[in-house]
A and B are shown apart, each in its own frame.
Chain A
Amino acid sequence: MYDPTVARLTYRALLGRRRALILGALPLLLVAISVVVRALAGADDQTASDLLGGLALATMVPIIGVIAGTGAIGPEIDDGSVVYLLSKPLKRPTIIFTKLIVAIAVTMVFSALPTLVAGFILNGNGQQIAVAYTVAALVSSIAYAALFLLLGTVSRHAVVFGLVYALVWEALFGSLVPGARTLSVQQWSLAVAHKVAGGDLVTSDVGLTTATVLLVAVTVLATWYAGQKLRTLTLAGEE
């Protein structure tokens, strides 16, 4: 199911040249901000929770997920070089699965790791906040990567749609319409984080069972459907 060559090529496409630097700028910013906050405000659990929840989990993880998920396949389809990959004797689901693994790994490294570092800087993992948000970031990395990889195979405007989902649906509608929160990767991962942290600082609107079922379902379905889409992929010309 996992093909090392495809993985290597995908890593190169995602992190080659200056792209790794740009991807690395976001985590660095998060760590820098937490250093500033710690220096200004001292260790405070509520502040740490607000910063990690508001900035790291709500903004950074989805954006990195979009870049890694759609970037793993989108550009190849866009410039047509995916035909060289598809003409190799590899199963299409294998290609998708490999690219998914790479996208998940990149998202995790660039979002969950800095979340953990920032959490330890902010309040030294008081009340398990750093660990809880790291778990949330890890879990949501998987779901985001799968979702956005699917988007990358479905649409040419995958990045925009991914960002619309992450920023408009989860952030805007999620804060206005309570029902929208049930269908939000962020809330599902928070439910898992809530289980880990236990306290009242990390809360979610979704139950743990629902969240886990939905997370697994979304990841599996998105990956399966992306494989199906890739099997019947037609290369359209540039608009």
Chain B
Amino acid sequence: MSAEHPVAAVPGDQTRIHNIGYRTYDGPRLGRSYATRSLYSQSLRGAYGLGRSVKSKVLPMLLFVVMCVPAAIMVAVAVATKAKELPVDYTRYAIIMQAVISLYVASQAPQSVSRDLRFKTVPLYFSRPIETADYVRAKYAALASALFVLTAAPLLVLYVGALLAKLDFTDQTEGFGQGLVSVALLSLLFAGIGLVIASVTPRRGFGIAAVIAVLTISYGAVSTLQAIADAQNSTGAIPWIGLFSPVTLIDGVQSAFLGATSAFPGAVGPTHGEGAVYVLVVLGLIAACYGLLLRRYRKVGL
């Protein structure tokens, strides 16, 4: 190692930069996929407050418990009364508990992305080997997984309980499978919508309110319009109105293809043809959310 480098050639100038022995890193470099995986697992843990302060564990854990307790009660009732089937379908459960799911998305989506924007840590992530797409994919996957855990756990409780109560095995397994597919779609859709809205604002509180507003107001508006269409006997319009809110979209998909009874007024679910439109819209929305997030993070904090 050379000891010193003269910087200025000005004669008589004593300014120098000394090599004080910093060593280069020659250990293993874990690379881009490792960084992405770490970001994913940290975001997923963060979505339940793990590795964060006690205060930030309270809300996600509370919502998780609130999500699972009704399922446990239903199982207990079904076992105690020796019922032939569970009081609620697997596919219906998430629709009933939609307020809790919406609150969870609204509280955790801004937690996941808004703070990175507010404290300007996004450029730090991008100074690592990860790319925009990796960041977006890791965050999206983490929130979707967290939502899937939230929505699938009560279904698991119901399923295990149903098997313990010696209900019909094939019947229950089929219902459980359909329920899992439906909540997987729901998780992807809700996570995408939540992240897109939250990534626009660096202010957490505003993000929460905006996500809730989009989810509940659209549902309120759509179900009001559907009720009016039902009262006007224009039942043909009901499925088409349902295309305009996330919850009714999932409801439509599962009642068209996953054997669920629709929560639409008059229980008029979409037909298979309309159901195909529902599936297309859901997949299109998920893709659009992903695309918007990519666009959002193309130029950020720089």
Contact = CB atoms under 8 A, between A and B. Distances in A.
B291 interface: no
A201 to B, nearest CB: 15
Interface residues of B, number: 33
Interface of B: 52-53, 55-56, 59, 99-100, 102-103, 106-107, 119, 203-206, 208-210, 212-213, 216-217, 220-221, 224-225, 227-229, 231-232, 234
B220 A54 contact: yes
Given A37-B228, A50-B227, A167-B212, A160 B221 contact: no
Contacts of A119: none
| Leading 3 A-B pairs by shortest Cβ distance | A159-B205, A159-B208, A239-B53
A157 B106 CA distance: 12
A22 B210 contact: yes
B50 to A, nearest CB: 13
Interface residues of A, number: 38
Given A41-B228, A47-B231, 18 more contacts: A33-B221, A37-B224, A40-B228, A50-B224, A55-B217, A55-B221, A59-B220, A66-B209, A67-B206, A70-B209, A78-B204, A157-B107, A158-B205, A160-B103, A163-B103, A164-B103, A167-B102, A239-B56
Contact of B220 (A55, A70, A75, A164): A55
A74 to B, nearest CB: 5
A70 B205 contact: yes
Nearest to B203: A75
Contacts of B99: 167-168, 171-172
B213 A74 contact: no
Contacts of B103: 160, 163-164, 167-168
Q: Is the interface of A mostly helix, strand, loop or mixed?
A: helix
12 contacts: A33-B221, A40-B229, A51-B228, A54-B220, A55-B224, A58-B220, A159-B208, A160-B107, A160-B208, A163-B209, A163-B212, A167-B216
A239 B225 contact: no
Contact of B209 (A33, A159, A172): A159
Interface in A47-65: 47, 50-51, 54-55, 58-60, 63
Interface string A168-201: 1001100000000000000000000000000000
Contacts of B102: 167
Contacts of A47: 228, 231
